[in-house]
Amino acid sequence: MADACARAEASLSSDTVGLEAGPVAHAIDARWLMAYAAALGETAPRYLDARQIGGPAAHPIFPVAYEWPLALALHARLAPDALQRRSVHAAHDLTIHRPPRAGETLLTRARVVALASRRPGVFLVVRYETVDATGRPVTTTLYGSIYRGVTLTGPDRVEVPWPAEAAPDSPASSCTERRRSRSRSPVCSPPTTPTRRGSGGSPAASPGWSACRPPSRSARGPPPAPR
């Protein structure tokens, strides 16, 4: 009986696909943009000078700042605290349709779009969609997590396949791949056209691991299959 209870506690249900959080409104201001860039060690005036026309530029990984409250809310509904400690950030795919700007209000929604069994545990994908006051897209993120040692109740369910180019073989190999790409490409400046960024590590801690590439090169494929 105890073993059965333990297995039940260490499982996620594929029925969770479709779970949503939001919308949540965020007032983007210059102080927030500058504080995020400074926390990452940025020193470029474009990120820290509020006197420039249009205010300071948003760091390419700034979207994680306004997505984070929804991540906390969604994961709290997804699994208890004991299970959350098994979650590892495994993959990150960000499309910047246009940079966020100081002085505007954005609206973000989150949705669980995939749950699949993998050798290390359960692979979870959450999609974050952020739009401006007119409803036009600003950023779209696919955030992949591995729940280590957790089993999936029910069949794999995938609403949104993982972009093939960003699909890591494992959390570790993903980090290695992005480190290699860093030597070939600098960190992107905030783009004026949609740009996709993929990262295998924490976006807040390691923004320079990924190289920028236009979304036209992205192909849709199966979710990553960590081994």
Full 3-state SS string of 119-187: CCEEEEEEEEEEECCCCCEEEEEEEEEEEECCEEECCCEECCCCEHHHCCCCHHHHHHHHHHHHCCCCC
Give the DSSP H/E element, type plus range, for residue 71: helix 63-78
| Residue 151, amino acid | T
8 Å CB contact between 211 and 185:
yes
Domains recognised in the chain with CATH numbers: 2-28+59-217 (3.10.129.10)
pLDDT of residue 9: 64
56-87, pLDDT tens digit by residue?
Answer: 999 999 999 999 999 999 988 888 888 888 99
The set of residues, in sequence order, having a beta carbon less than 8 Å from that of 84 and lying 6+ positions away, is 75, 76
75-127, pLDDT tens digit by residue?
Answer: 888 888 888 889 999 999 999 999 999 999 999 999 999 999 999 999 999 99
- pTM assigned to the model: 0.71
The set of residues, in sequence order, having a beta carbon less than 8 Å from that of 134 and lying 6+ positions away, is none
Higher pLDDT pick, 76 / 128: 128
How many CB atoms sit inside 10 A of residue 140's CB?
A: 19
